[in-house]
């Protein structure tokens, strides 16, 4: 052992023991009930306790599969009280299944804190894999899948979102965001101000009857959502810088540009720059705004310059 280093812990998930119990992270369907696995059903029937994000939602699932185990709530608002109690029960030898409303628990939800506390207490944590919205959206997006970054839900405020995007500016992998239907246009508008030409996909209602994937540039996807407001939870998939370099599809803000340090629009006249955005299904007003953002100008400056060009 290297002096001064902490000894690594080793979990043997299926070793025979009386205590502690095991915390199972059980994936549930994200829409279509047929996506639950046989192992998930068996685990939910065998554990002593099921901890759920929303007991009403989970009760419907359990009733459908005739699972009658005890159900308790564990969510963002009660985790400080219920988390230690669940750890206590696990230490006493009870086996507990943690489920979220949909998909794999502990991803963008307080289940991650329960896992952290369980690991800290030496409690085995075992995943029961299943449906996942982020990966399902990624694989049907048509964008690169060899490297990707799950971002989760973006900040609600423009300032926070712009700060997040600043940190992702040089990310080469495909980006995966979660977003609610009533916020997706607002978030996409901020993203379009700097990455309007990047390829993207908006995937909604995964595994359900109205499953839909909208593919195109960020600007084109935004234009579609302006005309047809989305319904259902959405995944936003956006290509990274390695995909956009040299293709003319990646845009930055102000002085930022492609992965080689250049500006994709530098060889275009202002009129051609605006026309490029119009060709991506942006209206002229929005196209001028995006071009102005790229060049560090005001939209009024762009409008005046185009007006003078037309008069010549």
Q: What is the DSSP string of 72-101?
A: EE--TTTHHHHHHHHHHHHHTT--EEEE-S
Q: Give the Å distances, CA to CA, from 141 to 13, 131, 231.
A: 35, 16, 18
- Whether the CB-CB separation of 98 and 58 falls below 8 Å is answered with no
Least confident of 3-12, 59-68, 220-229, 273-282: 273-282
192 CB-near residues (< 8 Å, 6+ apart) = 218, 219, 222, 290
Q: Give the Å distances, CA to CA, from 182 to 47, 232, 284, 289.
A: 37, 9, 25, 23
- Whether the CB-CB separation of 29 and 131 falls below 8 Å is answered with yes
At residue 251, the pLDDT reads 43
pLDDT in tens, 55-102: 999 999 999 999 999 999 999 899 999 999 999 999 999 999 999 999
Q: What is the pTM of this model?
A: 0.77
Angle of helix 299-311 relative to helix 270-279, nearest 10 degrees, comes to: 110
Q: Is 118 helix (H, G, I), strand (E, B) or coil?
A: helix
Pairing of strands 23-26, 96-99: parallel
232 CB-contact burial (10 Å; exposed 0-12 / middle 13-18 / buried 19+): middle
CA–CA gap between residue 228 and residue 137 (Å, rounded): 20
pLDDT in tens, 43-56: 999 999 999 999 99
CA–CA gap between residue 102 and residue 27 (Å, rounded): 7
pLDDT in tens, 256-288: 344 333 466 777 888 888 888 877 756 788 888
CA–CA gap between residue 216 and residue 224 (Å, rounded): 10
Handedness of CA 85, 89, 91, 94 (dihedral sign): negative
């Amino acid at each position: 052992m290297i002096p001064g280093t902490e000894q690594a812990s080793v979990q043997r998930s299926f070793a025979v023991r009386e205590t502690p119990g095991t915390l199972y992270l059980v994936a549930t369907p994200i829409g279509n009930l047929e996506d639950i696995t046989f192992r998930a059903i068996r685990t939910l029937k065998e554990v002593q306790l099921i901890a759920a994000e929303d007991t009403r939602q989970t009760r419907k699932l359990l009733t459908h599969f005739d699972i009658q185990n005890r159900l308790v709530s564990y969510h963002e608002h009660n985790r400080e009280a219920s988390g230690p109690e669940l750890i206590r029960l696990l230490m006493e030898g009870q086996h507990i299944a943690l489920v979220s409303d949909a998909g794999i628990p502990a991803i963008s939800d307080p289940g991650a804190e329960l896992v952290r506390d369980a690991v800290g207490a030496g409690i085995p944590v075992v995943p029961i894999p299943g449906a996942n919205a982020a990966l399902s959206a990624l694989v049907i997006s048509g964008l690169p899948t060899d490297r990707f970054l799950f971002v989760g839900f973006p900040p609600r405020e423009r300032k926070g979102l712009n700060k997040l995007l600043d940190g992702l500016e040089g990310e080469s992998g495909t980006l995966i965001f979660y977003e609610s239907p009533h916020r997706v246009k607002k978030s996409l508008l901020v993203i379009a101000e700097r990455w309007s030409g990047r390829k993207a996909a908006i995937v909604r209602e995964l595994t359900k009857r109205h499953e839909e994937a909208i593919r195109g540039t960020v600007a084109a996807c935004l234009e579609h959502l302006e005309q047809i407001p989305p319904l259902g939870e959405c995944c936003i998939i956006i290509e990274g810088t390695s995909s956009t370099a040299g293709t003319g599809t990646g845009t930055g803000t102000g002085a930022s540009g492609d992965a080689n340090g250049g500006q994709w629009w530098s060889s275009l006249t202002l009129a051609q720059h605006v026309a490029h955005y119009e060709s991506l299904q942006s209206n002229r007003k929005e196209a001028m705004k995006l071009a102005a953002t790229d060049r560090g100008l005001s939209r009024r400056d762009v409008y005046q310059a185009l007006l003078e060009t037309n008069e010549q």
